[in-house]
Amino acid sequence: MRSKIVAGNWKMNNNLEQTEALLSELSAKLPDTDAEVMVAPTYVNLAGAVASLQGSKIEVIAQNMHFAENGAYTGEISGDMLLNIGVDTCIIGHSERRAYFGETDEILAKKVASALDQGIRVMFCFGEELEDRKSDNHFKVVERQLKNALFSLDASVWSKIILAYEPVWAIGTGETASPEQAQEMHAFIRNTIAEAYNSSIADKVSILYGGSVKPGNAKEIFSKPDVDGGLIGGASLVADDFVDIIKAI
């Protein structure tokens, strides 16, 4: 059985007070669920979030990390620092990091390998741009992103990987992939992993969908057999919306 996961990527939103207020509202309203529930606040609020969520089912995860364990990398954060404050899962490869911070497949491969090496669970994000889909290259692009960043990894680390397919054209645009488009791509991803590794690994990896998931469309997207949950941006900043999305799973 694959884990069902609903994760909120808060991106560069919420100062300290807003973080605490949202966490306490979420904790109070959290429905009973078998799904894993995660939130990714900004770096400066990670340790505080871990402290406020002691004993809660909600897990705090990070949005990014550097591949080096320490050293002269001004402004960066290491996996060791995350583990040290009780954060053991990190988003890597978000399209905003690729687009605005020059993160290439090569850099991401280093980040993923380093995170896994240090015992950090990786939520790896990838997805095609609008032009890729329009030119019917979306499967090729996704396959390349997976291959370049993940397929040199040893089979044994795959239990520590969560995948998040986020088509760039659906992020923050209000336009979402249709449930059929999501299912088609998720099945392709699972099949690609089965070919690169084996079907046991492919069957066990959770593949989340991200891109304008809202309370109104979550249920239908999550009902697809290869969609194991969602990575939620905007709607995760509103407690009632995030809670409704959790209920949808």
CA distances from 172 to 113, 145, 169, 175 (A): 29, 21, 8, 8
Instruction: Answer yes or no: 94 catalytic.
Output: yes
The residue from 36, 138, 166, 186 that is catalytic is 166
The residue from 66, 94, 138, 186 that is catalytic is 94
Of residues 189 and 235, the one with the C-beta less far from ligand 13P: 235
> In the bound complex, what is the minimum distance in angstroms from residue 232's beta carbon to ligand 13P?
5
Task: Name which of 232, 242, 174, 226 is nearest 22 in CA terms.
Answer: 242
Helix 239-248 to helix 16-29 angle (10° resolution) is: 40
Kindly write out the interface string for residues 75-114 of this chain, putting x where it contacts ligand 13P by CB under 6 A and - elsewhere: -------------------x--------------------
Please identify, among the stretches 66-74, 136-144, 187-195, 204-212, the one whose residues bind ligand 13P according to the rule CB under 6 A. Answer: 204-212
> In the bound complex, what is the minimum distance in angstroms from residue 48's beta carbon to ligand 13P?
21
Tokens, residue 139: 């499967």
- Applying CB under 6 A, the site for ligand 13P has a residue count of 14
Kindly write out the interface string for residues 148-177 of this chain, putting x where it contacts ligand 13P by CB under 6 A and - elsewhere: ------------------x----xx-----
Task: Name which of 148, 234, 128, 245 is nearest 188 in CA terms.
Answer: 128
Task: Name which of 223, 161, 225 is nearest 193 in CA terms.
Answer: 161
Tokens, residue 135: 């030119």
> In the bound complex, what is the minimum distance in angstroms from residue 247's beta carbon to ligand 13P?
17
Contact (CB, 8 A) for 53 and 27 = yes
Q: Within 30-69, which residues bind ligand 13P (CB under 6 A)?
A: none
> In the bound complex, what is the minimum distance in angstroms from residue 96's beta carbon to ligand 13P?
7
Please identify, among the stretches 109-117, 150-158, 201-209, 228-236, the one whose residues bind ligand 13P according to the rule CB under 6 A. Answer: 228-236
Counting every residue, how long is the chain?
A: 249
Strand, coil or helix: what is 7?
strand
Instruction: Answer yes or no: 96 catalytic.
Output: no
> In the bound complex, what is the minimum distance in angstroms from residue 123's beta carbon to ligand 13P?
9
DSSP state letter for 225: T
DSSP notation for 74-107: TT---HHHHHHTT--EEEE--HHHHHHS---HHH
Four-residue CA torsion sign, 64, 165, 213, 226: negative
234 binds ligand 13P (CB under 6 A): yes
Contact partners, residue 108, CB within 8 Å, separation at least 6: 92, 93, 98, 124, 148, 149
Of residues 166 and 226, the one with the C-beta less far from ligand 13P: 166
Of residues 80 and 215, the one with the C-beta less far from ligand 13P: 215
Positions in the binding site for ligand 13P (CB under 6 A): 9, 94, 166, 171-172, 210-213, 231-235
